[in-house]
Amino acid sequence: MTDIMGAKKAIAELRQEIERHNRLYYVEARPELSDFDFDRLLEQLIAIERQFPELVTPDSPSQRVGGTITREFPSVLHREPMLSLSNTYSLAEVEEFYSRVRKLLLFEGVAEQKMVAELKFDGVAISLLFRDGLLVRGATRGDGRQGDDITANLKTIATIPLRLDGRLVADLQGEVEVRGEVFMRKDDFERLNESRLEEDRFANPRNATAGTLKLQDSAEVARRRMCFVAYYLKGLKDESTAHFSRLELLSRLGFFTGDHYRLCQEVQDINAFIEEWAGNRWQLPYETDGVVLKLNDVRFWEKLGATAKSPRWAIAYKYPAQQARTVLHNVLFQVGRLGTITPVAELEPVLLAGSTVSRSTLHNFDEIERLGVMIHDRVIIEKSGEVIPKVVRIIPEERPADAEPILPPMHCPSCQSLLVRPENEVSYYCPNEEECPAQIKGRVLHFASRNAMDIQTLGEALVEQLVARGLVKDPGDLYFLQEPQLEKLERMGQKSAQNILRALEKSREKSYEQLLYALGIRHVGRATARELSQACPSIDALRQSSEEQLATVPDIGPVVARSIIDYFAKPSWPQLLEKLRTAGLPLCASEPREQVNRNFEGLSVLFTGGLDRYDRQAASELVFERGGRVVGSVSKKTGMVVAGHDPGSKLQKALKLGVRVVSEDEFEAML
């Protein structure tokens, strides 16, 4: 296309069509195009804009594909504090809240009281700032007073308009703030987890969303396809406009608002809404964990005021964890990459929290003993975080006469080797490390996982074929695969084979630190790999270090040091090293990354429990970038413990040892 007028016309038509399909897919849930056809439209737009760069505008759909690398997220001050809501699991407390607000309104001379009931999205709160209709900034909630500027990442989300509908801007002031939640749809979450190694999978969509928003590469954020639901609008010319009307206006402005909010006249209407969605919410394509109630008349929001953290004009009712009864029919035994045998319960399929559950991990035989569970038992299961199913307890009074004890297996289910159980350990292991197909497959998948060498095209089914056909016996073999070999595999053509080889080529650019983690040395996680890369800046220096030298490295100690020595003593190591060296992988450290500041210098930090605004990797990176270290266990030398929700035994140990414990808000303030 050489005519600029023709280009303008084509760009306008493509932008309108793309935004229409975005709305059909994300807001109205009735897509008309396949993902492939939608991507074709976007590629056409990008191609024309590359030819005519002067026609690119900030609100073009092409700006959603990402590509910006953000090394740090500057802090921004919210115009008004972003408060969190008070939570309750009790309908009686909801009625108390309703009565309390009614009394306060009667004191103000207002007899009528209406509440807006909205579904509570399980996401991450953010604030969007529009100036003259154009999105200029997006920020996290942070500590409520200030958050992080993540505009580049938020622009990749299709349900965030880059420009507000011009026909409605006349009702708004020059500067407008929209608040809401970023979340991930169930199908997009499942697709993301399927692409990751099992041990690196996110526990629930909320954790996946929190971690994604803090990624430095906005192109990766775009690939994960998140959504935004708007529930707050500030900046109307008529600020007396009721909250329900504001939600309707947000929808007309192009935002997704959840669709299912309702204006409630009496407390009975509120209870009916809560009861209705207790069951119906499982049919929705996204996670909801409760109902938010807000006073409709915004004129009294300021008069009712707020506590230190929560407004008095709103409350969140949270649904209790869902449980179900089922039967444990059998126990299978899975083999991990380190030879660990994990018992997995086969259950009578049962509907729980919107999906059919037929399997649940039993972790190890200590957990089986604690539960007292047997084959054919009637059991209660629930979903941890409403995603991961677990057996909570048995129903002993319903134990059938044919119940059988769950006995440890004698042989590996993958290679039939005799299993061993090391002293003082809870798990059984397969000792046939070099030849066991399940262990080889696990090591290759770990090597290719996102936090290791990030070879995205290597899925479980493909690796299983490569191992079964003898093409891959260790991760080093991946780099010597040929296109004809790959093309002969099931469901594999020339294009797929070329994509795999390209992904392998790209993985050569990863860091030495990532390679150390990818090797899968027992007890060496991401934090330990970082410490090792700094203490021993080459693979040769690391393997030549003595056990005593390694034990002096921070966060290593004698157990990890012994594991590293044992790894490099394996007969297979020289052959693997030669393959990695020949493949050109990073066997030594590059220049260290510049620190953001020194706020955590000399401080060892432990995270326990779930964080609301970060996944564990993102939080750890924040510590590393500020000179600190992340450790995996509590001791007197631990500098600080960051305790999220459901923190577990590490918090109790920290308190007992007198280690400093901080909340997520305090941690974020220290950054």
CB atoms within 10 A of CB 111: 7
Asked if residue 283 lies in contact with residue 354, where contact means CB atoms within 8 angstroms, the answer is yes
d(CA 338, CA 425): 14
**Region class of 648: left (phi > 0), else alpha (psi between -120 and 50), else beta:** left
Banded pLDDT at 227 (limits 50, 70, 90): very high
β 323-335/340-352 pair status: antiparallel
Q: SS3 sequence, 413-450?
A: CCCCCECECCCCCCCEECCCCCCCHHHHHHHHHHHHCC
The larger pLDDT score, comparing residue 441 to residue 559, is at 441
Both tokens of residue 17?
């069509």
Q: Where are any strands of DSSP class E within 518-628? A: 604-608
β 340-352/124-131 pair status: unpaired
Asked if residue 154 lies in contact with residue 66, where contact means CB atoms within 8 angstroms, the answer is no
Banded pLDDT at 563 (limits 50, 70, 90): very high
d(CA 520, CA 336): 11
Q: What is the pLDDT of residue 384?
A: 57
Helical axes 267-280 vs 91-107, angle rounded to 10°: 150
Asked if residue 133 lies in contact with residue 166, where contact means CB atoms within 8 angstroms, the answer is yes
**Cα end-to-end span (Å), the chain:** 50
Q: What is the pLDDT of residue 52?
A: 79
d(CA 62, CA 44): 10
| Residue 391, beta-bridge partner list | 381
Banded pLDDT at 658 (limits 50, 70, 90): confident
Banded pLDDT at 354 (limits 50, 70, 90): low
On the question of pLDDT at 237 being above 80, the answer is yes
d(CA 662, CA 653): 14
Question: What is the distance, to the nearest Å, from the Cα of residue 594 to the centroid of all Cα atoms in its chain?
Answer: 26
Which of 298-312, 378-392, 551-565 is least confident? 378-392
Q: What is the pLDDT of residue 80?
A: 87
The larger pLDDT score, comparing residue 354 to residue 346, is at 346
d(CA 291, CA 549): 56
Q: What is the pLDDT of residue 646?
A: 67
Both tokens of residue 576?
């693997």
Banded pLDDT at 401 (limits 50, 70, 90): very high
Banded pLDDT at 1 (limits 50, 70, 90): low
Amino acid at 392: V
Q: Which residues contact 549 (CB under 8 A, 6 or more apart)?
A: none
The larger pLDDT score, comparing residue 191 to residue 376, is at 376
Q: Is 390 a catalytic residue?
A: no
| Residue 130, beta-bridge partner list | 135, 176
Calculate mean pLDDT across residues 592-598. 71
Asked if residue 210 lies in contact with residue 613, where contact means CB atoms within 8 angstroms, the answer is yes
Angle 116-121-127 from CA coordinates, rounded to 5°: 85
Q: What is the overall mean pLDDT for the chain? A: 86
Amino acid at 420: V
Q: pLDDT tens across 102-122, in order?
A: 888 888 778 778 999 999 998
Q: What is the pLDDT of residue 35?
A: 63
Amino acid at 558: P
Calculate mean pLDDT across residues 521-536. 86
On the question of pLDDT at 153 being above 80, the answer is yes
Query: Based on C-alpha coordinates, what's the Rg of the chain?
Result: 27
| Residue 23, beta-bridge partner list | none
Both tokens of residue 597?
């500041």
Range list of H helices, 108-242: 151-154, 186-194, 205-213, 218-223
Among the listed residues 335, 351, 352, 354, the one whose alpha carbon sits nearest the alpha carbon of residue 343: 335
d(CA 627, CA 408): 45
d(CA 273, CA 271): 5
Angle 157-189-617 from CA coordinates, rounded to 5°: 85
d(CA 170, CA 358): 54
Owner of token pair 């849930």: 29
Q: pLDDT tens across 19-62, in order?
A: 777 766 665 556 777 666 777 777 787 777 777 777 777 777 66
Q: pLDDT tens across 540-551, in order?
A: 999 999 999 898
d(CA 670, CA 82): 19
CB atoms within 10 A of CB 400: 12
Q: What is the pLDDT of residue 89?
A: 85
Cα dihedral: 588, 572, 532, 637 (round 10):
180
Q: What is the pLDDT of residue 410?
A: 95
Angle 351-355-359 from CA coordinates, rounded to 5°: 75
DSSP state of 387: T
Q: What is the pLDDT of residue 193?
A: 79
The larger pLDDT score, comparing residue 514 to residue 596, is at 514
On the question of pLDDT at 66 being above 60, the answer is no
Asked if residue 255 lies in contact with residue 161, where contact means CB atoms within 8 angstroms, the answer is yes
The larger pLDDT score, comparing residue 591 to residue 578, is at 578
Q: What is the pLDDT of residue 190?
A: 83
d(CA 152, CA 405): 55
On the question of pLDDT at 223 being above 80, the answer is yes
Domains of the chain: 4-64 (1.10.287.610), 75-318 (3.30.470.30), 323-428 (2.40.50.140), 437-582 (1.10.150.20), 604-670 (3.40.50.10190)
Which member of 8, 103, 114, 120 is catalytic?
Answer: 120
Q: pLDDT tens across 626-635, in order?
A: 888 787 778 8
On the question of pLDDT at 256 being above 60, the answer is yes
Which of 65-74, 255-264, 379-388, 516-525 is least confident? 65-74
Calculate mean pLDDT across residues 385-389. 63
| Statement: the pTM of the whole predicted model exceeds 0.85 | no
d(CA 376, CA 327): 6
Q: What is the pLDDT of residue 387?
A: 60
Q: pLDDT tens across 278-310, in order?
A: 888 888 888 888 999 999 999 899 888 887 678
**Region class of 659: left (phi > 0), else alpha (psi between -120 and 50), else beta:** beta
Banded pLDDT at 257 (limits 50, 70, 90): very high
Among the listed residues 455, 464, 454, the one whose alpha carbon sits nearest the alpha carbon of residue 489: 464
Calculate mean pLDDT across residues 58-81. 73
Q: What is the pLDDT of residue 27?
A: 58
Q: What is the pLDDT of residue 244?
A: 95
Both tokens of residue 5?
């007028």
Banded pLDDT at 389 (limits 50, 70, 90): confident
d(CA 447, CA 473): 13
Q: What is the pLDDT of residue 482?
A: 93
Banded pLDDT at 70 (limits 50, 70, 90): low
Total residue count of the chain as it appears in this document:
671
β 134-140/355-361 pair status: unpaired
Banded pLDDT at 460 (limits 50, 70, 90): confident
